[in-house]
Structure 1
């Protein structure tokens, strides 16, 4: 069965070169703009399949561009019980997405960033990766491995009160059957020392923040 990938350009700031987004688009089956994210699609001259949100930050020019190019617009009232990115996740899942990749999620609004990342604990049955050229954030499965570059900075955090029986392999600071607590984030700023890292744990919810560049301090 074919794996269906959705790519969402959210309403934050453009943090990567357009060519980076183009590569993500080329590997995706469903393209969704969230509010101001339509402006990045317009810069790329690529029409998303859908534009979702209350459209309070997208320019009128970009909205009209979407309309004239046949983009399906799903508009919500500003007064609603879900954030725009949450609505986009729900919609992508309804359309059959197995994995969701999200860009343009960073910006000045820390509350929006945290709100989006906290959704990793809500949608546990689907792969969600927030990414830009220099950063990648996702939930960690109970048995997780990944090919990386040596010298990357990784932060591993618990989204639940605690996560148990954590083992880290391939890092400068390894761990065996340890515990990470939500209110004691000692998993920040670990360093990869092998080209393959492994993480296992028994319960809780762990996420990683991966800095792809090696000059992070």
Structure 2
């Protein structure tokens, strides 16, 4: 299947009603492990349920099987990828207009950080991708992005590569002009959008752009 629609991956991290608000009519929904159960319990049928399903009971797994368009399961031990990466790889193969990762952040910091790093795979593949939770949105930029304020007034910038150069900000309280950020720098933390939109431009490197409500 190739789709020009948006694909939303619902992973097994923190999920709530805010995640359901991301869904639009033509979106393709992918339930990653327990994320599939979340969709079903909220009246949505996953197009695909994928993962090792080690975070659900046998009865819940059967509910997922019966209520998903397709189910792809794997051994929870003999595998090399996280469930979320398996879901993302499938999504990238569909060449969608956009991928959204919901439930990718949560109490497991290792999984949260690994999922942030997955943004690089989408960027290299040329597919727009963002991570969302109740109070944050995370993007990875290597050229330019226009940010919309909406519910996210605060913006922080963190380098994902050792150095990011040529960082220029327009429409922010604290502008930058061809600045450089290196791993460990906190200069880019907690900026503020002054208007409804702002622009982040990067000349070289991968820059994490984190929009937050507070």
**Shared fold per TM-score greater than 0.5:** yes
Q: Is the 8 A contact 2:154 2:211 kept in 1?
A: yes
- Paired with 1:128 and 1:68, the residues of 2 have a C-alpha distance of 29
- Give the match's secondary structure for 1:197: strand
- Residue in 2 aligned with 1:52? 50
- Paired with 1:58 and 1:88, the residues of 2 have a C-alpha distance of 17
- Give the match's secondary structure for 1:175: coil
**1:11-160 counterparts in 2 under 5 A?**
11-14=12-15, 16-17=16-17, 20-78=18-76, 79-124=78-123, 125-149=126-150, 152-160=153-161
Per the normalisation by structure 1, the TM-score is 0.88
Cα deviation for residue 28 of structure 1 reads 4.5
Cα deviation for residue 96 of structure 1 reads 2.9
Per the normalisation by structure 2, the TM-score is 0.89
**1:166-205 counterparts in 2 under 5 A?**
166-205=167-206
Distance 1:196 1:29, change over 3 A: closer
Cα deviation for residue 27 of structure 1 reads 4.4
Give the number of equivalent residue pairs: 209
- Give the match's secondary structure for 2:122: coil
- Structure 1: any 5+ residue segments left out of the alignment? none
Cα deviation for residue 194 of structure 1 reads 2.0
- Structure 2: any 5+ residue segments left out of the alignment? none
